[in-house]
Structure 1
Amino acid sequence: MTFEETYLNDNILDALYDMHFDEMTPIQEKCIPEILDGHDVLGVAQTGTGKTAAYLLPILSMLDDGGFPDDAINCIIMSPTRELAQQIDQAMEGFSYYLDNVSSIAVYGGNDGSRFDQEIKSLRGGAPVVIATPGRLLSHLKVGNLDLSKTSFFVLDEADRMLDMGFSEDILQINKLLPDTCQKVMFSATMPSKIRELAVSLLKDPVEVKLKVSKPAEKIQQSAYVCYDPQKVKIIEHLFKQGEFKRVIIFCGKKDRVKEINRTLQKMKINCAPMHSDLTQAERDEVMYQFKAGQIDVLVATDIVSRGIDIDDIQTVINFDVPNDAEDYVHRIGRTARADRDGVAITFVNEKDMKQFQQIEKFLEKVVDKNTLPEGLGEGPEYKIIEKKKHSGRNGKPHKRNTKGAGKGTHKGASKGQNKGQHKQKGKSEEK
């Protein structure tokens, strides 16, 4: 489906033509018409699927069509990090090239006082689109620098990462200041129970769009070490002695483990830094800046950086812990082999994580190569194929399924008719 087949206005289509955007990605094809028709949307899609355009294009098109207050902040886009806020702001510049009355301001922490003053001027002047991190937006709200009572659109990008970083209460606090008429869009790379609960709190009868997680890029050379926990650090030490490791992310499941591994690597004289939710925004910004600039060779991190961060030259990803599921695995190793580069992904699998890793292999539809442990480390655990247990009753007889009341449930589905005339009328009347 092409962008011209949607209700996007001509100014947006002209910008897309200049940018050589023609065919929509699946997430754009499913979300753009629903947002244009005024629905709340809950989208589940991984990084790199085009979701930024999926919400920016319809919102910008509607704002350009008019019918919104001139002195109001018409759209708030929430981002978990400064880096993602900057990326969204850059995308906004391209998409809004022909929009005379639609501009944006990116609001985030870690800056000097002069930028804060610039933000105040733009916010009080009624910037149509504000792209903000939760903490910085709340700082402005607390001192009365902006009013959300007339806001028409509210977008949460990378919602799962926001929850990982502890922004849940901030989001709910901001949501209370929005009018009931505000249209809301929420995107997340994964759908854990906490995200589902947040969606119930924020969205009204949302249209749900979920894309299947795609397989990792073929250019990623995947392998694993089957080992005991005490052997993991020794394997890392061996890898760094074997070759030049300069653009590496080591993922750990918990922040305490990140701190521990980072201290151990520093004792080995490895140029590394930690990244976890206990760091302040300013500290995270500084670590990311140093890593991007090549001042740090190795980033030891929780899943806080597994999604939404645009770094093209990562050579190696090491999963110190097996990720929770296939989606997290894909997001982690997807940090490497970007921009047509090759990449390496190594996972440490202990005796407790074998079943979990086999589920990942099942999703990948292939067996990941198992490396031989370095000399001198001894034997690792045997990699056993763990079959799913079949439940049985007494004397080995299977349990009888209770079919009482079966068939009473119903599955509800609905189809929505859409036409351009309905959109124009609905979009302008509901959002005023």
Structure 2
Amino acid sequence: VGVDELASSGKFDKSIILALKAAKFLNLTPVQQKSLVPILEEDGIVVRAKTGTGKTLAFVVPTLQTSLEVFDRRRKGVSTLVIAPTRDLALQIESEYKKVISKLPRSLQQNADILVLTGGKRTSINVRDPPSIVVATPGRLLDQLSNPKKAAVFKNLKYRVYDEADRLLDVGFEQTLGDIDDILVQNAPDGFKSILFSATIDADVDSFARQHISENYKYINCVSEHEPEAHENIHQSLITCKDSTDVFKTSFSYIANHLQHKVPFKCMVFLPTVASTEWFYQSLVRGVDNGVFDARPSSFVRLHGKRTQSARDKVVGQFRRMQSGIMVCTDVAARGLDFNDVTHVMQLTPSVSVADYIHKVGRTARAGKEGKAILFLTKNEMKYSTILRKERGVNFEEVIEAEDIEKPHEDILDLVRINEEEIESFISTYLSFQTQVAQKHRFDSHRAIVDIMELYRTILSQPDATMQ
């Protein structure tokens, strides 16, 4: 369905439709087809939609339409508030708004100015000249709303949007969101529409929606009940490994093989801890020096919560621009970050939360493209694949034995070895993560510990090494 169909509804300004076309948004995704008009017409809506399905534009367009309709230079105020779980997602939402706003006629652009409020950004609400649209993370928003003069600019609020609500609740923002709600309700006597987007609607999200959206909210489900939660364009593979040593040997080999092929290989590698991310990244760089990986060190980047905000922003920009490259990351990057053309997602461990597997997989095959998701499991962790199938309908299209993956260097772990201090730090945090996962999914904890000690000795090349 083309965007011209919006004109036939009579609900959308011609300038918005032209701006969408100029911004190269020519067709409506199923999520947009189902929700654009209801968001304008209904009061409380919950939309279940997977990531990568065009859901951001589904609220950008109607809220922008409303911003233009209600704009009044004499009584400026915030007409739309979007609440997102992370700074990265907030910036991405701002970017989607700006793609459309930048194509509006000049005279209208100033009626749809936008402000982002997140940690790490020193922006603040200007009470004399408030923005029409605010995109914010909960903590920073509450901080601003605690000032009564700033709270007052939400007097004529028309829309409050929760994006990735499951993630907002996962991260533990429920109390903060409740405090924000109290302030908004006090300051907006005429009330406002609330919309919630979420990839999963479990009991927690439903309870939150009944409280914050409406007891009888309208539910728009854009995910078929029989459809597995991961996107159908994602080819999911499972690589079974003897132990943790085998996982890393095989994953480094898998990367080396793909870098040799000279076809685009834009890959996100997920690891569970900051130290494991650092170790893997440094090992890749060392591997380039030793001829293991046919790439420039600059084509490898890393993203985790211990990096400064400016470093994270820089990495996100670098990876966006790459045609081929590898981002090694923790879960920080799993939700809400949108990168074009990610061809592969590699997960080297089970996730504590099964939903996290789905969210990581959703970084590839975005905007109708195809992608591959590869999960590496040890023999001890195989129960996790059964859990994924039962709880999330995950069907692996192929199951590959690690020994069937071509190993260009049998001594690959020697060739990527980095300093002992980094290895110590990696193993100690990795050990505690694996113990936690073993308890959660009922793997054999003793075997997991023995396994990781064996990995430690192998990557140190010291058969008798013990941990401090």
Above 0.5 in TM-score? yes
* CA displacement at 1:25 relative to structure 2: 2.8
The whole-number CA distance in structure 1 between the counterparts of 2:303 and 2:97 is: 31
Q: How does 1:396-415 map to 2 (within 5 A)?
A: none
Aligned counterpart for 2:219 among listed residues 198, 208, 223: 208
- 1:44 paired with 2:48, answer yes
Q: Which amino acid aligns with 2:112?
A: S
The whole-number CA distance in structure 2 between the counterparts of 1:339 and 1:57 is: 18
- 1:347 paired with 2:347, answer no
Which residue pairs with 1:5 in the alignment?
8
Which residue pairs with 1:80 in the alignment?
85
Which residue pairs with 2:364 in the alignment?
336
- 1:225 paired with 2:239, answer yes
Taking a change above 3 Å as real, the CA distance of residues 361 and 261 of structure 1, as seen in their structure-2 partners, is same
- 1:371 paired with 2:371, answer no
Q: How does 1:241-390 map to 2 (within 5 A)?
A: 241-242=256-257, 244=259, 247-252=266-271, 257-265=272-280, 268=283, 270=285, 273-275=302-304, 284-285=312-313, 288-289=316-317, 291-292=319-320, 297-302=326-331, 304-322=332-350, 329=357, 331-337=359-365, 343-349=371-377, 350-359=381-390, 363-364=394-395, 367-373=397-403
Comparing both structures, which one devotes a greater share of its residues to helix?
2
SS in 2 for 1:102: helix
SS in 2 for 1:49: coil
Which residue pairs with 2:181 in the alignment?
175
Taking a change above 3 Å as real, the CA distance of residues 222 and 62 of structure 1, as seen in their structure-2 partners, is closer
Which residue pairs with 2:69 in the alignment?
65
User: What is the total number of aligned residue pairs between the two structures?
Assistant: 364
* CA displacement at 1:287 relative to structure 2: 5.0
SS in 2 for 1:248: strand
Taking a change above 3 Å as real, the CA distance of residues 290 and 16 of structure 1, as seen in their structure-2 partners, is closer
Aligned counterpart for 2:144 among listed residues 117, 140, 145: 140
**RMSD, aligned CA:** 3.8
Q: Deviations over 1:226-279 (max 9, x none)?
A: 235533233324334545398432235xxxx32352254256354663535x77
- Structure 1: runs of 5+ lacking an equivalent: 378-432
Which residue pairs with 1:393 in the alignment?
none
Are the counterparts in 1 of residues 303 and 333 from structure 2 also a CA contact under 8 Å?
Answer: no
Q: Which amino acid aligns with 1:102?
A: N
Are the counterparts in 2 of residues 120 and 145 from structure 1 also a CA contact under 8 Å?
Answer: no
- 1:235 paired with 2:217, answer no
Q: Please, what TM-score do these two structures have when normalized by structure 1?
A: 0.70
* CA displacement at 1:186 relative to structure 2: 0.9
Which residue pairs with 1:185 in the alignment?
195
Taking a change above 3 Å as real, the CA distance of residues 24 and 85 of structure 1, as seen in their structure-2 partners, is same
The whole-number CA distance in structure 1 between the counterparts of 2:373 and 2:109 is: 46
The whole-number CA distance in structure 2 between the counterparts of 1:339 and 1:28 is: 13
The whole-number CA distance in structure 2 between the counterparts of 1:280 and 1:164 is: 23
Which residue pairs with 1:31 in the alignment?
35
Which residue pairs with 1:54 in the alignment?
58
SS in 2 for 1:176: helix
Q: Deviations over 1:101-136 (max 9, x none)?
A: 6312232346575xx3xx443x54122211222233
Which residue pairs with 2:114 in the alignment?
105
Taking a change above 3 Å as real, the CA distance of residues 326 and 45 of structure 1, as seen in their structure-2 partners, is farther
* CA displacement at 1:352 relative to structure 2: 1.9
Q: Which amino acid aligns with 2:237?
A: S
Taking a change above 3 Å as real, the CA distance of residues 343 and 10 of structure 1, as seen in their structure-2 partners, is closer
- Structure 2: runs of 5+ lacking an equivalent: 286-299, 412-468
| Greater shift in the superposed pair: 260-269 or 200-209 | 260-269
The whole-number CA distance in structure 1 between the counterparts of 2:13 and 2:284 is: 57
Q: Which amino acid aligns with 1:81?
A: T
Are the counterparts in 1 of residues 267 and 325 from structure 2 also a CA contact under 8 Å?
Answer: no
Q: Which amino acid aligns with 1:308?
A: G
The whole-number CA distance in structure 2 between the counterparts of 1:21 and 1:314 is: 20
Are the counterparts in 2 of residues 40 and 184 from structure 1 also a CA contact under 8 Å?
Answer: yes
Are the counterparts in 2 of residues 325 and 359 from structure 1 also a CA contact under 8 Å?
Answer: no
Percent identical: 25
Q: Which amino acid aligns with 1:103?
A: A
